[in-house]
Every structure is written in structure tokens, then in C-alpha cells.
């Protein structure tokens, strides 16, 4: 059963790559580097970086760098989560993550990413499969004007290429036991292949005890900034020690967070 789940999730990731490549064409001369622009979703990245978090390839230029994509759209992420309304239609998150028996961790040049093809997230009867989680320092979303030291994104997809992301804020506090499971294996340098290691770990242990959340529809926070992403940002942060936050941050580009985007006419709901 584990092998079937792994094959299914790899197929989902591959299908999503093909979909985004056909809908968002890179400028001439960048050819297959488009894979690198969907860092939020794919399992592996193996191409030269053509966008960054500063300078001429920084966020304010993403819409120019990646042609025919959504970086200049009107439903972009992240946002400042303020002024949310209660929505009785929202339900508790239906998460069915299970323990994983192999660590697959990657420094893709933009973030530290852990592939995790074991578990599902059900939204309105639709099953989204967990693909990976990765980190941003500081947080990309703000809560009522407050930015946290870090944010972790759990990325999910469906066979129809729908995307849902759970965002969890990370506050400075006590040492995070879950992070310690892959603490020594985080790659210091960008690599084409992930580090693989037989290791039992359970992503459920990273989730906050109370799972109240903010919900809105936005986009990926990296090029191609694909819109239509369902966001569920936990209200309650988890904690990590100052040392853990500093180490994870040091392995990623400085300030690897996209600036807050305009809300426009979107509504933020809360559960």
C-alpha cells in the first residue's frame, strides 16, 4: 500500500509540473528551467535559479521574468490576515497524515523542503494529497500586521491539479522536537537530488494542538504565482528555539519571503 501511495503522489507531482509548464512558458533561453519556478509544489528541483528574493530577479520583477504567468494577478499570496469574518460553512480540517519511514530532504536554493507523500487533506469531499512541506523566514503571511520569524507550508494537490496549502506560523520559544528528527540532515548547499535516509517521522507532530484557521483563495507565493490556491493558515503558531530558527534560516536565502500582496476584493474567513 505504501508503494501504491508513493507512486500515486509522484504521478500527481509530475502531472502538476506538466500542467504548469504548458500554462506558464518561460522566456526564451530558459526552456526546461520552468520546473524551478514551481518550488511550492514539486518534489525535486534540478535547474539553475532564475528568480530570487532580492535585486533584479526579486519579487517586484517576477511578473517580468516568468512570462504569461500570474505574478501580477489580483488574487495573489501572501496577505495580511486581518478583518476575517466567521463562516459557519467552514469545517474542522480533515487531515489524515500518517508516519513516513524515509526522510527525503532537499535544499532547492529557495527553501529547505521535505518531501512527504504520505497523507491526505479532504476539503468539501475532495481529497488533496500531501506532497511536501517547506520553510520561509520570516513568515510570508502576517496576522493582524504581525510577522513571525518563520512559516512552514504543507503543499497538497489533486489529480486535477488543484492546490491547497496549510500555513503554520513558527514563533520563537521552546525547542521543536519534530524539527530535531531531521536537524542533522538539512543540506547546507543547493543540490539537484534530495538527501534520503531511512528515518521514521510523523508530520502530525508538527501541527499545533488547536487547528483553528484563516481561509482565503490566493496563489503560490513563488513564480509562477499560480492563482486559485486554497489557503488554510493556522491561527495558532508552533514553537522552535532561537537556535533552530537561526539554523534553518541560515540554509536558505536571506528573507526568503514574498512581500504581502493586496487583498483586493477577496474575503478572509475564519474557523
CA dihedral 127, 128, 131, 136 (to 10 degrees): -150
What residues does 218 pair with on adjacent strands?
229
What gap in Å lies between CA 24 and CA 62, rounded to an integer? 12
Q: Report which secondary-structure segment, H or E, holds 177.
A: helix 177-180
Please name which of 4, 41, 88, 14 lies closest in space to residue 224, comparing C-alpha atoms.
41
CB 249 within 8 A of CB 148: no
SS3 category, 105 = strand
- Of the residues 43, 100, 110, 136, only one is catalytic, namely 110
79 contacts: CB under 8 Å, gap ≥ 6: 141, 142, 216, 218, 260, 261, 262, 263, 266, 268
Please name which of 66, 18, 63 lies closest in space to residue 41, comparing C-alpha atoms.
18
Residue 100 designated active-site: no
CB 94 within 8 A of CB 121: yes
12 contacts: CB under 8 Å, gap ≥ 6: 129, 131, 157, 158, 159
Residues acting as catalytic residues: 110
Amino acid at each position: 500500500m505504501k508503494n501504491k501511495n508513493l507512486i500515486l503522489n509522484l504521478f500527481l507531482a509530475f502531472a502538476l509540473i506538466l500542467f504548469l509548464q504548458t500554462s506558464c512558458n518561460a522566456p526564451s533561453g530558459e526552456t526546461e528551467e520552468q520546473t524551478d519556478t514551481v518550488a511550492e509544489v514539486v518534489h525535486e528541483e534540478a535547474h539553475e535559479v532564475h528568480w530570487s528574493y532580492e535585486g533584479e530577479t526579486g519579487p517586484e520583477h517576477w511578473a517580468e521574468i516568468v512570462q504569461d504567468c500570474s505574478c501580477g494577478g489580483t488574487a495573489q499570496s501572501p496577505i495580511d490576515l486581518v478583518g476575517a469574518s466567521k463562516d459557519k460553512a467552514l469545517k474542522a480540517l480533515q487531515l489524515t497524515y500518517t508516519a513516513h519511514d524515509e526522510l527525503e530532504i532537499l535544499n532547492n536554493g529557495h527553501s529547505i523542503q521535505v518531501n512527504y507523500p504520505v497523507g491526505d487533506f479532504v476539503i468539501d469531499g475532495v481529497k488533496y494529497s500531501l506532497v511536501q512541506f517547506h520553510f520561509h523566514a520570516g513568515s510570508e503571511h502576517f496576522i493582524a500586521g504581525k510577522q513571525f520569524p518563520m512559516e512552514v507550508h504543507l503543499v497538497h494537490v489533486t489529480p486535477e491539479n488543484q492546490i491547497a496549502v496549510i500555513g503554520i506560523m513558527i514563533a520563537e520559544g521552546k525547542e521543536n522536537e519534530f524539527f530535531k528528527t531531521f536537524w542533522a540532515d538539512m543540506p547546507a548547499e543547493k543540490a539537484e537530488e534530495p538527501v534520503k535516509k531511512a528515518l521514521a517521522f510523523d508530520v502530525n507532530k508538527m501541527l499545533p494542538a488547536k487547528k483553528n484557521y484563516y481561509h482565503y483563495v490566493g496563489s503560490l507565493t513563488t513564480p509562477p504565482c499560480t492563482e486559485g490556491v486554497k489557503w488554510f493558515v493556522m491561527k495558532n503558531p508552533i514553537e522552535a528555539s532561537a537556535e533552530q530558527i537561526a539554523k534553518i534560516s541560515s540554509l536558505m536565502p536571506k528573507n526568503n519571503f514574498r512581500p504581502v500582496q493586496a487583498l483586493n476584493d477577496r474575503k478572509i474567513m475564519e474557523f
